[in-house]
Amino acid sequence: MDATFSGHHGPRLPRELECTIFEAAALSRPTSIPQLALVAWRVNHWVEPLLYQVLFVSRYSESYSSRGIHQKSGLPVSNAEILLGKIANKPAEFLRSSVKHLFLDVFKKSDVEAILMACICVTNLFIETSSTPDPRTLAGLQCLHHLTIDIETLFGGPDIDFSHPLFRNITHLELLDDYRQGLRMDVLCSGLALIPHLTHIAFNTIPKRPELGGLSVLHARLRADIRLQCILFLSPDVRDAMRARRVLSGDDRIVCIDQDAYRLDWIHGARTGEDYWTLAEAFIAAKRAGKVDRMLYNISDDDDSWRT
């Protein structure tokens, strides 16, 4: 594939500059990477790992929603079978060093386990499927800092081991739990305090069963944890409860975000570093700087009028 250029074809770029140009082109439009990889062997060596840096894996890669994600984000959407084929055919080091951000919507638990064991250097993991892996598999992800998961499903019930090694490096944790298995808010908060490096916590919902505790119980326990820099709620139920009872007033770490498209937000964050976490941080900073009403807590991810 590599052509040898003579002086008759004009000056040749230094390899470092050539690599930078192809990498920039690949990152600006990931869907072009398979075509760029055909230019030359050296170009394939440079850009192919970038195709796997951010992986969105769906059980239905040809579905309408997956095609929409592909079109709106410019990121290829893979399915488990394709990725498992790559795992079987690529050297183990390739995916281990390439995959940094991984979104899994995969039905079979065995597929989830196989993918995670191949991508052990992932730093940002979103597991949407109910087929969660064994906690010991997640413990093998030694670089993991951002995790989105249903922890009741992960541990098979409300008895969560927050001292488990899988949490040892977690700084940003988003919980997808619906609390149907009985996880109480006081127990949850006591457990979160055991995660050594946790600074950001997000909840997709709060319990509807009174005996599990509600928003006031949740915050009463969280507010004592001074490590927490951001306490984020992504549920309209929480927003309505906050408006009705104002139980969280006075804590500027609290943010409630209306998300328009959480999958696209995750992809955008993985590619650019700008996501709902950074949005919440900017909002908190604006409140502390007196640029936003301190009693305001609800924002939308598609409206930044509060920044002006």
**Whether residues 41 and 61 fall in one domain:** no
Q: Which pLDDT does position 37 carry in this prediction?
A: 61
Determine the average pLDDT of the residues in 219-235.
90
pLDDT band per the 50, 70, 90 thresholds, residue 36:
low
- Which pTM does this prediction carry? 0.84
Is the pLDDT at 70 greater than 70, yes or no? no
**Whether residues 271 and 154 fall in one domain:** yes
- Out of 50, 69, 89, pick the residue that ends a domain: 50
Residue where the block lists tokens 């992986």 = 55
**Whether residues 226 and 247 fall in one domain:** yes
**Whether residues 141 and 198 fall in one domain:** yes
Candidate from 29-43, 163-177, 206-220, 269-283 with smallest mean pLDDT: 29-43
**Whether residues 114 and 61 fall in one domain:** yes
Q: Which pLDDT does position 7 carry in this prediction?
A: 45
Burial 133-160 (b: 16+ CB within 10 A, else e): bebebbeebeebbbbbbbbbbbbeebeb
- Number of domains into which the chain is organized: 2
pLDDT band per the 50, 70, 90 thresholds, residue 107:
confident
**Whether residues 140 and 9 fall in one domain:** no
Is the pLDDT at 15 greater than 70, yes or no? yes
Is the pLDDT at 28 greater than 60, yes or no? yes
Candidate from 25-39, 70-84, 249-263 with smallest mean pLDDT: 25-39
- Higher-scoring residue by pLDDT: 14, 160: 160
- Higher-scoring residue by pLDDT: 52, 39: 52
Q: Which pLDDT does position 280 carry in this prediction?
A: 95
- C-alpha distances in Å from residue 193, one per residue of 150, 236, 250: 18, 26, 21
Is the pLDDT at 170 greater than 90, yes or no? yes
**Whether residues 21 and 142 fall in one domain:** no
Q: Which pLDDT does position 5 carry in this prediction?
A: 42
Cα–Cα dist 253/230, whole Å: 5
* Closest C-alpha among 255, 135, 131, 271 to residue 202: 255
* Closest C-alpha among 278, 277, 296 to residue 288: 296
Cα–Cα dist 271/1, whole Å: 30
Condensed to tens digits (0 to 9), the pLDDT of residues 266-306 reads: 988 998 899 999 999 999 999 999 999 888 888 988 888 88
**Whether residues 153 and 223 fall in one domain:** yes
Candidate from 110-114, 132-136, 211-215 with smallest mean pLDDT: 211-215
Is the pLDDT at 236 greater than 60, yes or no? yes
| Full residue range of the structural domain in which residue 7 is found | 1-50
pLDDT > 90: what percent of the chain? 43
**Whether residues 79 and 225 fall in one domain:** yes
Cα–Cα dist 36/297, whole Å: 45
Is the pLDDT at 198 greater than 60, yes or no? yes
- Out of 50, 69, 86, pick the residue that ends a domain: 50
**Whether residues 45 and 140 fall in one domain:** no
Q: What is the mean pLDDT of the chain?
A: 83
Q: Which pLDDT does position 4 carry in this prediction?
A: 44
**Whether residues 191 and 239 fall in one domain:** yes
Q: Which pLDDT does position 251 carry in this prediction?
A: 86
**Whether residues 105 and 248 fall in one domain:** yes
Q: Which pLDDT does position 218 carry in this prediction?
A: 87
